[in-house]
Amino acid sequence: MKPGPITPTAWDDYSRAAELFNEGQRVRAGCVMYRGQFRARVMLLADPNQSPDGGPALFASLNETVAKPINQWLGGDRDDWIAALKCARAWAAQNDDPDYPRRRHGAIHADVLAGLDELIAAIPSKSELRAQRRAAGLPNR
């Protein structure tokens, strides 16, 4: 494993997601951001004794500064949101993380993939999502 509070691949994904979002490639940004979340979640679960001001704090910060605006945009269109999640899920199922490989952390990978599946299944219908966002003062697309 590489030293540091978060795997470089997870950080790279968050950084790239922010770039893609700013370039207008917003569904792709969502895919890359969720891929980064997958990698970070695996890292945090595989190494649970990290200092709270290390990986966990960085993960929270990245989710607030990078993931929040992407998620808010994705939530404006159910199909885009599900497409981004399914893209990240497919990548995670087909690729391995060199820092926290499946051969050593298979159960963790499976649990985080299951979490993605649960999130996809929990997304409300288009009409319900639109109503929830309208009530929260968020735009729909």
Output phi, psi for 62, to 5 deg: -65, -40
What's the pTM value of the predicted model, to 2 decimals? 0.90
Cα torsion through 18, 23, 29, 33, rounded to 10? -10
3-state secondary structure of 132: helix
Token pair listed for 75: 């939530």
Q: Which amino acid is at 46?
A: A
- Give which of 72, 83, 81 is closest to 139, Cα–Cα: 72
- C-alpha span between 66 and 79 (Å, rounded): 21
Whether the Cβ atoms of residue 40 and residue 62 lie closer than 8 Å to each other? yes
Mean pLDDT by 10 residues, the chain (141 residues): 55 94 97 96 93 91 97 96 97 89 96 97 97 95 92
3-state secondary structure of 139: coil
Token pair listed for 7: 């795997």
